Structure 1
Amino acid sequence: MNDLAITPSIDVDRLTAIDVHTHAEISRDGHGSLSPELFGASEEYFKAHGHRQPTIAEMAAYYRERNMAAVVFTVDAEHATGWPRISNEEVAESCAAHPDVLIPFASVDPWKGRAGVREVRRLVERHGVRGFKFHPSIQGFSPDDPMAYPLYEAIEELGVPALFHTGQTGIGAGVPGGGGIRLKYSNPMLIDDVAVDFPELRIILAHPSFPWQDEALAVATHKPHVHIDLSGWSPKYFPPQLVRYANSLLKDKVLFGSDYPVITPDRWLADFDTLDIKPEVRPRILKDNAARLLGLVRG
């Protein structure tokens, strides 16, 4: 175990919220997480032209100022895109410098096979990584493909969550052929098989899952360890059935996420304030559910 294999020293009681979905978009040497073509399409989709890509240290300062914690990750999609990833070790090391506010997740391309499994174990056991991000559409795989099962098995055994992008993506939107990105891989129903075959794996379905919102609600309601994060959309655009389930059947399984930096938590929280969410449910969505899932509190 090295210096990074530590539990984040997060004082949950002082936090106003835990953002479970933020992106490390740029490395220390200036390398971006996406090709210029795909990044430009994402900027256009989110109307975030020219938005600045913060360093992880700047992200830490941003969240510390707001008394929030944040999960940070990048996406490893080298096989499908040919674009070199930002190092998982760099993300973990940068987060470890700010353990009071940042929680490192990693991303391992499922196409890496046994080498990917070894990396998953090393990242958790030696680098303090607390979960893994998958983006099936960008990584070019179906979540229920047995090719990815050795990764899930290792993640389940290590007891950390797996977060899957679901629904449409702004990455590749408007580019001819969508930049080669296939939306079908991000149907949340494909993750139902994963939840069946790995019953102790903690799963997060990221985003309101347009156009498959009902599928996401069905899987999260049916499978006890499947959660939903609310990132990537302003809450004022949430489908009514998502709000209804968040207020009732899924009140312990819905998580605040922003998709920072393309959507800021300031904007997200301002719009969330206008939703008809029960007062007793709000703190669960903003902090309590994530604190429990991420092992920051007992129970």
Structure 2
Amino acid sequence: NDELADACRRHPDRFSGLAAVAPQDPAAAAEELRRGVTQLGLHGGVINGHTQGRYLSDPEFWPIFEAAEDLDVPIYIHPTGLPSTMVQPFQEAGLDGAIYGFGVETGLHLLRIITAGVFDRFPRLRIVVGHAGEALPFWLFRLDHMHAATVRAERYESMKPTQRTISEYMRENVYITTSGMAWEPAIRFCQQVLGADRVMYAMDYPYEYEVEEVLTHDRLDVDAETKRMLFQTNAERVFGLNVAAQA
């Protein structure tokens, strides 16, 4: 984090950063997030997926969310490899990485956070995920319907009622990026179901096809304001950036 902050200070017109934190020690992670934001000038936190098969939906990790809400900064949940309890059938088929497994892992992680009531406990918390929301926008209707049915059935002790629907949390507490998903139908669908103010441009540089990705986004058939939100103003708002001042 110190090295990242130094690079951002040396190139303020090019870089802004997020503080990496280690959830293995939630109290220390929360403190490092506070240090990263208040002392290093970073703009949020980033966590690489599950922690040895344990998810941030576990209240043990909630001090991290409490710190993020207090600081008014987002937490970006980045994919990692599937936990050992899930990975074998994905690996056998070669589907465990960016092709599919990453999205399954992070989509599950975000769903666990939502259904565990994290946003009820921390209503101002903001979470960012990439890859067009890890396919969750496409599932919203079914998620809302089956979540309500499962809660009514009282089938699982862990499945408690929440104050809002899954889709409402996705529209009010979650932001997504287009990293690795340079496909106009998917981008526009996400803008339609979540709101254009919830979708931010991003790229899985350097291993994605950067020229093609940029051209796809440039050619999106949306109005100028929607495109400006995608490329600039959404990120400025979510991460607390002041691009004009840095230019």
Q: Does the alignment reach a TM-score above 0.5?
A: yes
SS at match of 2:20: coil
2: CA distance, partners of 1:250 / 1:115: 35
> What count of residue pairs does the alignment treat as equivalent?
205
SS at match of 1:142: coil
SS at match of 2:27: helix
2: CA distance, partners of 1:216 / 1:164: 19
1: CA distance, partners of 2:139 / 2:129: 11
The answer to whether the 8 A contact 1:124-1:130 is kept is yes
Which residue pairs with 2:179 in the alignment?
Answer: 231
Give the aligned residue type for 2:124. Answer: E
**Aligned equivalent of 1:212, options 112, 136, 139:** 136
Larger relative helix fraction: 2
- CA deviations on 1:146-189 (whole Å, 9 max, x unpaired) are 121011111111111111236998xx97488959x884454232
Structure 1 residue 191 corresponds to structure 2 residue 113: yes
Structure 1 residue 92 corresponds to structure 2 residue 21: no
Structure-2 change in CA distance of 1:284 and 1:209 (3 Å): closer
- CA deviations on 1:72-103 (whole Å, 9 max, x unpaired) are xxxxxxxxxxxxxxxx2212222221111210
- CA deviations on 1:204-231 (whole Å, 9 max, x unpaired) are 1222244534347974644523211111
**Aligned equivalent of 2:201, options 244, 256, 264:** 256
**TM-score after normalising by structure 1:** 0.58
SS at match of 2:129: strand
Which residue pairs with 2:156 in the alignment?
Answer: none
**Aligned equivalent of 1:115, options 28, 36, 43:** 28
2: CA distance, partners of 1:289 / 1:120: 22
Structure 1 residue 162 corresponds to structure 2 residue 69: no
SS at match of 1:102: coil
2: CA distance, partners of 1:91 / 1:264: 25
1: CA distance, partners of 2:76 / 2:140: 13
The answer to whether the 8 A contact 1:167-1:207 is kept is no
Structure-2 change in CA distance of 1:228 and 1:221 (3 Å): farther
Give the aligned residue type for 1:93. Answer: D
SS at match of 1:280: helix
Give the aligned residue type for 1:155. Answer: A
Give the aligned residue type for 1:195. Answer: F
- CA deviations on 1:18-73 (whole Å, 9 max, x unpaired) are xxxxxxxxxxxxxxxxxxxxxxxxxxxxxxxxxxxxxxxxxxxxxxxxxxxxxxxx
The answer to whether the 8 A contact 2:81-2:96 is kept is no
**Aligned equivalent of 2:55, options 119, 142, 158:** 142
1: CA distance, partners of 2:52 / 2:19: 14
2: CA distance, partners of 1:144 / 1:271: 35
Percent identity reads 28
1:293 shift after superposition: 1.7
1: CA distance, partners of 2:61 / 2:213: 33
Structure 1 residue 285 corresponds to structure 2 residue 230: yes
2: CA distance, partners of 1:168 / 1:209: 17
Give the aligned residue type for 2:180. Answer: G
**TM-score after normalising by structure 2:** 0.68
Q: Which 5+ residue runs of structure 2 have no aligned equivalent?
A: 145-165
2: CA distance, partners of 1:147 / 1:245: 32
Give the aligned residue type for 1:232. Answer: G
Structure-2 change in CA distance of 1:265 and 1:201 (3 Å): farther
Which residue pairs with 2:151 in the alignment?
Answer: none
CA RMSD of aligned residues (A): 3.4
Structure 1 residue 105 corresponds to structure 2 residue 7: no
